[in-house]
Amino acid sequence: MIARLTFLLVCVAVANGNPAAGRPWHWRSPKPLVTPFGPVKSSRIVGGKEATPHAWPHQVALFIDDMYFCGGSLISDEWVLTAAHCMDGATFAEVVLGAHNIRIFESSQVTLVSKDFIVHEHWNEFALINDIAVIKLPVKVNINGNMK
């Protein structure tokens, strides 16, 4: 009985020790990050600070095939620039524009599903060259203070 209780307490401690515990999140599994030096051990930013809301209106969140998360930049009213390693093998991207915090709904957010995307024809995942792609939005977005 004591062993079971100890095991249960350890499980609760581990679950509560996770800084993301209790926060809803959008994607199911992280896509491994790639660098010239091998996989990144952590995707967390260390020593950073939260940006001023809407200070980076061109920044978009990308949820690839409802599984992976990447970022991108709005480069026109219907195109998003991102990395080829984000879109390689994907079927679609859910694009969230005008968000400051993607974990909560904000009235400034617009969510669209990609119409099409183009991965650089010479993208090489082993040499890490030409790691660029563009995503076409299904409609032109209204460029404003939250989306530029």
Tell me which amino acid residue 20 is. Answer: A
**Mean pLDDT (whole number) for 104-119:** 93
* CATH value at residue 97: 2.40.10.10
In a domain, 146, yes or no: no
CA separation for the pair 114, 60 (Å, rounded):
13
In a domain, 1, yes or no: no
In a domain, 77, yes or no: yes
In a domain, 15, yes or no: no
Q: What is the pLDDT of residues 17-65, one digit of tens each?
A: 444 444 444 444 444 445 555 555 555 567 778 888 888 889 999 999 9
In a domain, 51, yes or no: no
In a domain, 94, yes or no: yes
Residue 97's domain comprises: 59-136
Paired residues of 80 in beta bridges: 74, 135
DSSP letters for 29-98? SPPPPEETTEE-S--SPSS--PPPTTS-TTEEEEEETTTEEEEEEE-SSSEEEE-HHHHTT-S-EEEEES
- Overall number of domains in the chain: 1
* Global confidence as pTM: 0.68
Indicate whether 6 pLDDT > 80.
no
In a domain, 129, yes or no: yes
In a domain, 50, yes or no: no
